[in-house]
Amino acid sequence: MEWLADPQLWIAFLTLTVLELVLGIDNIVFISILAGKLPPEQQSRARYIGLGLALMMRVILLFSLTWVIGLTAPLFAVFGQEISGRDLVLLIGGLFLLAKSTHEIHGSLEGDEGHKSAKIYPSFVGVLIQIALLDIVFSLDSVITAVGMVDNLWIMIGAVVVSIVFMMAFAGSIGAFVQKHPTIKMLALSFLILIGVTLIAEGLDQHIPKGYIYFAMAFSVLVEILNLRLRKAKTAPVHLHNPYDDRDEAKALQME
């Protein structure tokens, strides 16, 4: 229990927790968009189950550190480019994210053909399967980042658990905000395309500093929030001025 009094370990725990939260933002957005396609009474349950699957996936991978680290070893080479197990997962996940995000954008803009009059909800199990597939990709990236920062298994597990609990607490608010504002949803889907391209680049050993990506995303969100406030100000109720009220008021003053 001496490690509890070590300030360096606490700093590592807090740093890793914040990093896991940042890395989990894209996971929350994707889960919120997929859960938003379900009937309203099932959306909250889908978000919690999706984040629960993410937590379970991360913990399992953390207990399988030897296997995770082994995924970075080259399996084969294509045109002189070495491909590891991690690269394969990132490539497949990135391509899936690109295809899914593009499909969601097309559905939002064009609508579902043949279902103009009635809204057709996807199956609950089908949505969970899609969430689980992306959880594998996001969890692998998260765990490899944790392994590179800290060498204490229990600190890594603690940071992952705390970050997922925070995500669960705010997932509902984020999901409702995304679904309420169509432009925010479109921006989120664009972010997922950006993340998909980044995953493909990472799978090809082309490292893109995540700070640049998150700065671009944060700047875009800030601009969109300003746009939302501007649109809200323009749609505020306008109180029409009746000129006859001024005449009546002037007459009343003359009589006095």
CA atoms within 13 A on the CB side of 174: 22
Between CA 134 and CA 254 the distance in angstroms is: 76
Q: Are 57 and 171 in contact (CB under 8 A)?
A: no
Q: Global pTM?
A: 0.63
Domain that holds residue 213: 2-255
Give the Cα separation of 238 and 240 in Å (integer): 6
Q: Write down the pLDDT at residue 116.
A: 45
Contact 28, 172 (CB under 8 A): no
Q: Is 54 exposed, middle or buried (0-12, 13-18, 19+ CB in 10 A)?
A: buried
| Regions of the chain where pLDDT drops below 70 | 1-6, 23, 65-66, 68-70, 110-121, 145, 147-151, 234-256
pLDDT at 5: 63
Q: What local confidence, expressed as pLDDT, does residue 191 receive? A: 79
Shortest CA distance to 151 belongs to which of 56, 48, 16? 16
pLDDT at 243: 55
Q: How many domains does the chain have?
A: 1
Q: How far apart are CA 114 and CA 105, in angstroms?
A: 17
For 57-84, write each residue's pLDDT tens digit. 888 888 876 676 667 777 787 777 788 8
CA dist 49 to 35, 95, 168, 192, Å?
A: 10, 24, 10, 21
